[in-house]
Structure 1
Amino acid sequence: MNNRNRNAAISAVAQQEQPQCKHCQSEDVRVISETQYNFFLSTLPVLVAIIFMFTVHLAFFFLIPFVLHFNGRIAAKKSPLIVCRSCKSSEIHKQG
């Protein structure tokens, strides 16, 4: 999905007055953007790489760009993510 389609999907979800969960029809849902998803995916691996860099070997510093790159690609595929607070189900919003 290219940037234009992804941005259109994000804005379509954001413009909905009350997005609903497809499983339980609840309106108590949270829309997670690509930036938030990337941050949540990357925080722990980057912190672990920094800790290993200081305790084990300096070469772990070179893992950080790879972690950020691959987690960015994953976040681009799976955003915007809709998470229901009632039944805890999650779904990827697909345009169309």
Structure 2
Amino acid sequence: MARSAGTSSATPNRSYRDVLRDKRVAGLLLGDLLANIGTGMIIVAMPVQTLRVHGHIPPAIAVGMVEAAPFILSTVRADAGSARTVPGGQCLSRCRKA
């Protein structure tokens, strides 16, 4: 990267260790770690548990429901009852008006 004449970089290069000592960055990395643990649980632990307790529902359908549940519930919770957030909701609301 070429610098134009007369401009200097105001921030010096920092080592990785210096950056990790910043509490804001450390908090961000901790949050990322916890989020990835949660993602791992959804991908691995929840289907395994579902296969143990699926009852009379076919295993493939039970695992599919468990995998889709967080996305469906977050969509519903984001704006309960709004046709704008539910997939296909705008199309359904237009069909009702016609």
* TM-score over 0.5 (shorter chain): no
Higher strand proportion (structure 1 or 2): 1
* TM-score calculated relative to the size of structure 1: 0.32
Larger Rg: 2
Give the structure, 1 or 2, with the largest relative contact order (CA under 8 Å, sep 6 or more). Answer: 1
